[in-house]
């Protein structure tokens, strides 16, 4: 007997029955074809009208485990980072992970679930997973006990206000007619699977509890009442259900879902899955390698990539840089900007009607995050969360857990990961009014006031400061202002001492890999100090710096970066003039100096040569002259001998005088072998 004949429950012994079976088979084939045509594509968050990508080019199965973790396991996942975090996920994968085609398998006692809960955080791939399951069924990729699968999206159901039957709900996005759907449901309901996506987005109205539920697929009721009647088993009790939800709605779901049901959670991408995702996304081995190795070297991003939507954000940024002809990772968006993109994505696509402004939500989440940072806490009790966040269930950034405590249950909340708690703390500090912001920052950086925090905070507060630097970046500030009206205040009228302590906190952090400090001229009007720490670049202090200089970059051994007297650094940096700047640089134990000048004059050439001889640990000096190199400066370099062990490189257009520039761009090398000059073939475009 054909599998599709099981809808009738007996053999087709008559011509009429054979005709009906043939019609049903034709109907199901047409339905599967429609699904394959529609579900093989996905629309990305930034897709323009008509733009699609193949589901198979994006979908990687996330790690799914079939158990509730205890409090200790949750804390371990939330607080671990980088390779350690991936090892934690790896241990879960080895012990407890399951595949999509085994979700309805019998448990250890032989009981098959009639309903399956698939829980996951925002952006963890719940909807993609449902789409993949529907597509797999329609493509006959594996044997299944289901003759037909229906996909119901709670977000769409919530938009409907008219009384609706289950059959009408199913027919909205389906090529089957209401009569065809009714016939299928009546004849073989036990072989029907309903995939209900996004239960947390369903309107939770009083009607769900006070109205008599419909008991027939054609009986009309408010749409949320009709759906809950299906979930409870009042309609089509024998059918199977898979319901996806965020954790914040799990206790509501368990009260309206029929038994027996099983619990499963999408934990996110393992490191192997992250690698596979990058490989599928780029379909270019060279670009894949560059992008993936960049992420692996960044502890914060490697941790965040367990969230599939962050994998997509990072890959999209890398691809954009590649299409612009830029080096894939040089100048890549800062780590903080990735988190800001994630904030924007979740607020745009994964949040319910918030009922209050984004600044209000961010401030309440930031206040909660700060409380946890100060108290060394990543799990929050329900009372604390409700006091600080007006609608925790509506926030896509919070997770909700149910733990067993002796003879009762306890509800706890957390941020998705400790790094998001640190991010919201930093954002909170910067969106307060100027007075409060300065007060908070000064308290954090004045470590003598918080001796109990210092011991604990060295990597925790280092990460908060890391995000503060990133949020002060001009592009990031613009995004927050443009999208949400959030205006981060500027780490500018802080004292030298406060800035010094801030740097000590930052460089002490174990998560910080960078070993460079960079000074930029921001725009055409002001000079500003910028620090590059783990790719973060941000303006933090208005300073007076020689007008000739537009960039200074110093590379340190990690020990020197940590031991530098940063208070003195900031104090000296406020002085102006070439002599003061070079005196400051000579007082630091830098190994490499990159300098950006407007014009390389004879005086600058003499000063740099003298500087190179006075700094015995300096091994490399690179200088870029944006407006040109004067001929008399070239003469100085030709007749000079650098200190052995130090290599100097100068690049720019030759200028015959201060106001006349040639089209000849050169690169000058000065080392122990002497002077050499090469002409660059592709001179830079100049106005």
- The CATH number of whichever domain residue 201 belongs to comes to 3.40.50.300
- 550 within some domain: no
DSSP 592-638: EEEEEEEEE-HHHHHHHHHHHHH-TT--EEEEEEEEEEEHHHHHHHH
Report pLDDT for 535: 53
Please give the Cα distance from 490 to 438 (Å, whole number): 9
305 touches 317 (CB < 8 A): no
What are the strands, taking DSSP E only, across 361-448?
380-381, 398-405, 408-415
Q: Which residue has the higher pLDDT, 80 or 481?
A: 80
State how many domains the chain has. Answer: 2
174 touches 94 (CB < 8 A): no
Calculate mean pLDDT across residues 39-62. 91
Res. 456: pLDDT tops 60 = no
- 128 within some domain: yes
Please give the Cα distance from 587 to 585 (Å, whole number): 5
Report pLDDT for 547: 66
* pLDDT tens profile 431-442: 888 788 877 877
Task: Please return the burial class of 134, using the count of CB atoms within 10 Å of its CB with bins 0-12, 13-18 and 19+.
Answer: buried
DSSP H/E element including 209 = helix 207-210
- 686 within some domain: yes
- 375 within some domain: no
Report pLDDT for 132: 96
Report pLDDT for 684: 43
- Final residue belonging to a domain, choices 208, 240, 268: 268
Res. 533: pLDDT tops 70 = no
548 touches 604 (CB < 8 A): yes
> For a pLDDT cut of 90, what percent of the chain falls above it?
43
474 touches 522 (CB < 8 A): yes
Sign of CA pseudo-dihedral 54, 55, 59, 61:
negative
Report pLDDT for 517: 67
Res. 526: pLDDT tops 50 = no
Please give the Cα distance from 243 to 198 (Å, whole number): 7
* pLDDT tens profile 149-158: 999 999 999 8
Report pLDDT for 186: 85
Report pLDDT for 490: 60
Q: Which residue has the higher pLDDT, 578 or 403?
A: 403
* pLDDT tens profile 356-399: 788 889 999 999 999 999 888 999 999 999 999 988 888 899 99
- Final residue belonging to a domain, choices 219, 234, 268: 268
Task: Using alpha carbons, select from 46, 47, 40, 58 the residue that is nearest to residue 279.
Answer: 58
Report pLDDT for 548: 77
Residue with token string 């002809």: 325
175 touches 34 (CB < 8 A): yes
Report pLDDT for 326: 62
Res. 31: pLDDT tops 90 = yes
**Least confident segment among 40-49, 125-134, 473-482, 646-655:** 473-482
Give the confidence band of 489 by pLDDT, cuts at 50, 70, 90: low
Report pLDDT for 178: 92
Task: Using alpha carbons, select from 408, 164, 120 the residue that is nearest to residue 267.
Answer: 120
Give the confidence band of 128 by pLDDT, cuts at 50, 70, 90: very high
Give the confidence band of 449 by pLDDT, cuts at 50, 70, 90: very low
Please give the Cα distance from 686 to 95 (Å, whole number): 61
- 75 within some domain: no
Report pLDDT for 158: 87
- Pull the structure tokens for residue 329: 């990772």
Calculate mean pLDDT across residues 199-220. 89
**Least confident segment among 235-249, 359-373, 472-486:** 472-486
Calculate mean pLDDT across residues 455-483. 72
Calculate mean pLDDT across residues 575-581. 71
- Pull the structure tokens for residue 665: 């761009």
* pLDDT tens profile 584-641: 777 777 788 888 888 999 999 999 999 888 888 889 999 999 889 999 999 999 998 8
- Pull the structure tokens for residue 14: 């008559």
Report pLDDT for 127: 95
**Least confident segment among 136-140, 338-342, 437-441, 560-564:** 560-564
Res. 273: pLDDT tops 80 = yes
**Least confident segment among 4-18, 193-207, 403-417, 672-686:** 4-18
* pLDDT tens profile 229-239: 999 999 999 99
Mean residue pLDDT across the chain: 83
- Pull the structure tokens for residue 137: 């069924």
- 326 within some domain: no
**pTM of the complete model beyond 0.85:** no
Report pLDDT for 455: 41
464 touches 513 (CB < 8 A): no
Calculate mean pLDDT across residues 652-675. 81
- For 205, 208, 209, 248, 549, the CA distances from 252, given in Å and listed in that order, are 12, 11, 11, 9, 62
Calculate mean pLDDT across residues 579-583. 77
- Final residue belonging to a domain, choices 248, 268, 288: 268
- 388 within some domain: no
Task: Please return the burial class of 424, using the count of CB atoms within 10 Å of its CB with bins 0-12, 13-18 and 19+.
Answer: buried
Calculate mean pLDDT across residues 332-342. 81
Report pLDDT for 458: 45
Q: How far is CA 503 from the centre of its chain?
A: 26
**Least confident segment among 72-76, 204-208, 247-251, 320-324:** 320-324
- 423 within some domain: no
Please give the Cα distance from 501 to 568 (Å, whole number): 11
Report pLDDT for 524: 36
Report pLDDT for 492: 54
Calculate mean pLDDT across residues 67-78. 91
Helix residue spans in 406-515 (DSSP H) = 418-431, 434-445, 451-471, 474-484, 496-508
**Domain of 248, in residue numbers:** 98-268
Sign of CA pseudo-dihedral 290, 329, 428, 487:
negative
Res. 41: pLDDT tops 80 = yes
Task: Please return the burial class of 94, using the count of CB atoms within 10 Å of its CB with bins 0-12, 13-18 and 19+.
Answer: exposed
DSSP H/E element including 296 = helix 285-296
Task: Using alpha carbons, select from 545, 657, 638, 634 the residue that is nearest to residue 595.
Answer: 545
Report pLDDT for 97: 84
């Amino acid at each position: 007997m054909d599998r599709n004949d099981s809808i009738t429950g007996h053999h087709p012994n008559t011509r009429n029955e054979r005709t009906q079976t043939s019609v049903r088979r034709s109907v199901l084939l047409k339905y599967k074809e429609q699904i394959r045509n529609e579900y093989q594509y996905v629309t990305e968050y930034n897709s323009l009208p008509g733009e699609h990508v193949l589901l198979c080019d994006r979908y990687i199965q996330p790690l799914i485990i079939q158990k509730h973790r205890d409090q200790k396991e949750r804390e371990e996942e939330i607080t671990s980072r980088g390779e350690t975090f991936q090892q934690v996920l790896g241990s879960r994968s080895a012990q407890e992970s399951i595949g999509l085609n085994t979700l309805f398998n019998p448990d250890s006692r032989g009981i098959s679930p009639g309903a399956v809960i698939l829980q996951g955080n925002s952006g963890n791939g719940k909807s993609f997973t449902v789409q993949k399951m529907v597509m797999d069924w329609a493509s006959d990729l594996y044997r299944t006990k289901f003759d037909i699968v229906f996909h119901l999206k709670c977000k769409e159901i919530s938009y409907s206000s008219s009384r609706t039957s289950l059959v009408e709900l199913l027919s909205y996005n389906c090529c089957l007619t209401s009569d065809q759907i009714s016939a299928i449901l009546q004849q073989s309901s036990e072989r029907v699977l309903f995939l209900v996506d996004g239960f947390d987005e369903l309107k939770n109205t009083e009607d769900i509890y006070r109205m008599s539920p419909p008991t027939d697929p054609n009986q009309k009721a408010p749409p949320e009442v009709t759906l809950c009647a299906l979930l409870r088993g009042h309609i089509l009790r024998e059918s199977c259900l898979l319901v996806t939800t965020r954790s914040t709605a799990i206790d509501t779901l368990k009260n309206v879902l029929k038994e027996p049901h099983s619990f499963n959670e999408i934990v996110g991408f393992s490191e192997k899955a992250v690698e596979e995702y990058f490989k599928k996304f780029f379909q270019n081995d060279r670009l894949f390698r560059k992008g993936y190795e960049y992420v692996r070297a960044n502890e914060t991003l490697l941790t965040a990539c367990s969230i599939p939507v962050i994998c997509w954000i990072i890959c999209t940024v890398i691809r954009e840089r590649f299409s612009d002809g830029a080096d894939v990772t040089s100048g890549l968006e800062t780590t903080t900007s990735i988190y800001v993109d994630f904030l924007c994505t979740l607020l745009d696509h994964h949040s319910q009607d918030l009922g209050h402004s984004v600044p209000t939500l961010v401030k309440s989440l930031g206040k909660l995050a700060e409380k946890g940072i100060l108290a060394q806490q990543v799990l929050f009790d329900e009372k604390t969360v409700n006091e600080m966040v007006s609608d925790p269930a509506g926030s896509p950034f919070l997770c909700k857990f149910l733990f067993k405590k002796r003879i009762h249950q306890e509800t706890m909340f957390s941020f998705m990961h400790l790094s998001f708690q640190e991010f919201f703390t930093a954002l909170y500090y910067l969106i307060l009014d100027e007075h409060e912001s300065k007060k908070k920052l000064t308290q954090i950086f004045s470590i003598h006031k918080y001796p109990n925090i210092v011991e604990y905070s060295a990597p925790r507060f280092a990460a908060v400061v890391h995000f503060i630097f990133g949020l002060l970046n001009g592009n990031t500030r613009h995004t927050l202002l443009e999208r949400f009206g959030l205006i981060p205040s500027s780490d500018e009228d802080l004292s030298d001492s406060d800035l010094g302590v801030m740097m000590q906190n930052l460089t002490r952090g174990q998560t910080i890999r960078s070993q460079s400090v960079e000074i930029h001229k921001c725009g055409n009007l002001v000079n500003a100090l910028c620090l590059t720490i783990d790719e973060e670049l941000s303006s933090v202090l208005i300073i007076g710096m020689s007008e000739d200089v537009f960039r200074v970059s110093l590379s340190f051994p990690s020990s020197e970066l940590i031991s530098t007297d940063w208070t003195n650094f900031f104090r000296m940096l406020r002085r102006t003039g070439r002599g003061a700047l070079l005196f400051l640089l000579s007082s630091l134990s830098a190994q490499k100096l990159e300098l950006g000048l407007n014009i390389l004059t004879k005086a600058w050439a003499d000063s740099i040569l003298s500087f190179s001889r006075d700094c015995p640990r300096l091994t490399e000096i690179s200088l870029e002259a944006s407006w040109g190199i004067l001929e008399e400066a070239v003469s100085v370099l030709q007749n000079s001998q650098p200190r052995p062990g130090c290599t100097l490189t100068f690049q720019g257009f030759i200028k015959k005088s201060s106001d006349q520039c040639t089209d000849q761009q050169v690169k000058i090398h000065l080392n122990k072998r002497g002077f050499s000059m090469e002409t660059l073939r592709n001179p830079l475009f100049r106005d």
